[in-house]
Homo-oligomer: A and B are copies of this chain.
Amino acid sequence: MSSDSQREAQEKETGRIEAFSDGVFAIAITLLILDVKVPLLEEAEKAGLWTVLLERAPNFLAFVVSFFFILVMWINHHRLFTVIRRSDNNLLLLNGLLLFGVTFVPFPAALVAEYLNQPDQIVALMVYNFWFFLIAIFFNAMWWYASSQKRLFSAKTDYALVKHISRQYMGGPFLYFVALILAFIHPYLSLLASFLLAVYFVIPNPSVQQLMDTQNEE
């Protein structure tokens, strides 16, 4: 068996993981809208539709923050799989765990939409950011496994760079934990923190960029 045909076969496998993951990300991100409910006619009749829509602000806020969280997760997933060139059983499972996390996001999102500005809003935001904290751990687990299994990368990978990236990603769970704690100060602060974290993780990381380039040079 030539090494070339082997590589081809395994890259095809990565292809189907990516396709399935894309599907799950795309559906989870789109299902979020189902929790943005249209106001009942009776509510609008009393106060007018404008007012009722404005009162729904927490609903829209939860939608926006959750949408960008999943989008940024997808962008980073996409980036990692530019580097991960081969697949094995454990990667399938660790990726499955990450997808489990992503699939569940509509629940804490709906929780925040329902409970923001209500007595139990701190609980809702703790669950919300705890879930993001957990997803960040799943993400690190997958990256850690893929990067330590050198055979999942290409031969030319610069492992000094890989270590550098790992250190940066490892900040994720810690940062989401901080966002969780901020809920005790103010729920909106906690929500703002998770939004800013999405912004932070979407900024192109020069090390990742460099690594992706090395891989492509191969």
Residues of A within 8 A of B (CB): 1, 5-6, 9-10, 13, 16, 18-20, 22-36, 38, 41, 44-45, 48-50, 53, 63-64, 67-68, 71, 74-75, 78, 82, 89, 92-93, 96, 99-100, 103-104, 106-107, 110-111, 113-115, 118-120, 123-124, 127, 202, 204, 213, 215-218
Contact = CB atoms under 8 A, between A and B. Distances in A.
A41 B64 CA distance: 22
A18 B31 CA distance: 19
Nearest to A19: B22
Given A33-B103, A33-B107, A22 B20 contact: yes
The prevalent SS among residues of A at the interface is: helix
Q: How many copies does the complex hold?
A: 4
B31 A30 contact: yes
Contacts of A23: 22-23, 25-27
Given A44-B115, A50-B123, A74 B29 contact: no
A38 B114 contact: yes
Nearest to A50: B123
Given A9-B216, A22-B23, A71-B100, A123 B49 contact: yes
Given A26-B27, A38-B107, A38-B114, A18 B16 contact: yes
Given A16-B22, A38-B114, A49-B115, 15 more contacts: A1-B213, A9-B216, A16-B78, A19-B22, A20-B74, A23-B26, A27-B30, A33-B103, A33-B107, A44-B120, A48-B120, A48-B123, A49-B124, A71-B96, A75-B92
